[in-house]
């Protein structure tokens, strides 16, 4: 089967935005992100990824962008990275594994360590990169080579891990607030913690 020609970055970002809107994945309110920061916007990628066609599109676009790094396995953190990581692995024709938290610590619970392989880390949304980097270190410290990182959405602050080469399909710049300086808290808006990591 012939693949469709690769789209430019702007066209891909525009399509991701459309899919977020169509699926109701872009939420507005007062949210505590997994980073601990507060925001008036939250992207619930699971709402978009519940549609297989949307998940396949995002996975294929990420796969196109990291294929040159020749990963032999895709690694994601649970829960957020499960669907998109699997889609990227499917598109590249390589295995997929994931890490998950046990007693607050990220661990490779369900799979043996793959050894000295080249791996790519794939996430749904990256805000600070804390969970992503914590996940990747598990394989890297066991001798695997971390060759690339990718996410559907990159909403890191400009000063967050500038040295970290992260490929993304949509770069967001919604304002983020420390709790002590959050205008949404001052306005008394109810705080929602939608992510999967304990806050």
pLDDT at 1: 31
- Strand ranges in the chain using DSSP code E only, listed in sequence order: 26-32, 38-43, 73-77, 96-102, 105-107, 118-126, 145-154, 166-171
- pLDDT given for residue 5 in this prediction: 42
Please give the structure tokens belonging to residue 170. 């949509």
Residue 94 falls inside a structural domain: yes
Flag whether 195 is in a domain: no
In a domain? residue 199: no
116 in a structural domain = yes
Angle (CA) 85-87-39 rounded to 5° is 55
Taking residue 109's Cβ as centre, other Cβ atoms within 10 Å add up to 11
The pLDDT score that the predictor gives to residue 4 is: 40
As for how many domains the chain has, the answer is 1
Neighbouring residues of 179: CB distance < 8 A, sequence distance ≥ 6: 32, 36, 37, 38, 185
Q: What is the pLDDT of residue 7?
A: 55
Q: Is residue 196 part of a domain?
A: no
Tens-digit pLDDT string for the chain (199 aa) = 334 445 578 899 999 999 999 999 988 899 998 778 899 988 889 999 999 999 999 999 999 999 999 999 999 998 889 999 999 999 999 999 999 988 888 999 999 999 999 999 999 988 778 888 899 999 999 999 999 999 999 987 666 655 678 899 998 878 889 999 999 999 999 999 875 544 4
Parallel/antiparallel/unpaired status of strands 73-77 and 118-126: parallel
CB 34, CB 196: distance < 8 Å? yes
Q: What is the pLDDT, as a whole number, of residue 160? A: 60
Asked whether 46 and 92 are in contact (CB, 8 A), the reply is no
Tell me if 13 is assigned to some domain.
Answer: yes
3 assigned to some structural domain: no
State the burial class of residue 167 (Cβ atoms within 10 Å of its Cβ: 0-12, 13-18, 19+). middle
Domain span at 177: 9-186
CATH of the domain at 130: 3.40.50.2020
Which tokens in the block code for residue 98? Answer: 């994931």
Cα dihedral 37→43→46→47 (10° resolution): 140
For 57, the 3-state DSSP assignment is helix
Q: Is residue 1 part of a domain?
A: no
Q: What sign results for the dihedral spanned by CA atoms 108, 170, 45, 175? A: positive
């Amino acid at each position: 089967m012939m693949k469709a020609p690769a789209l430019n970055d702007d066209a891909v970002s525009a399509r991701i935005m459309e899919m977020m809107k169509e699926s109701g994945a872009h939420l507005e309110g007062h949210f505590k992100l997994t980073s601990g920061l507060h925001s008036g916007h939250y992207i619930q990628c699971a709402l978009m990824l519940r549609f297989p066609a949307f998940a396949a599109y995002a996975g294929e676009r990420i796969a196109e962008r990291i294929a040159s790094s020749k990963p032999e396995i895709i690694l994601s953190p649970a829960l957020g990275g499960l669907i998109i990581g699997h889609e990227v692995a499917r598109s590249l024709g390589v295995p997929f594994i994931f890490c998950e938290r046990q007693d607050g610590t990220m661990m490779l619970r369900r799979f043996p360590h793959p050894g000295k392989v080249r791996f790519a880390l794939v996430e749904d949304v990256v805000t600070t990169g804390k969970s992503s980097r914590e996940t990747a270190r598990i394989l890297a410290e066991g001798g695997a080579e971390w060759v690339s990182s990718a996410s559907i959405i990159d909403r890191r602050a400009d000063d967050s891990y500038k040295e970290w080469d992260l490929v993304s399909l949509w770069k967001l710049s919604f304002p983020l607030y420390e709790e002590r300086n959050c205008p949404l808290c001052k306005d008394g808006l109810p705080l929602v913690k939608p992510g999967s990591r304990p806050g």
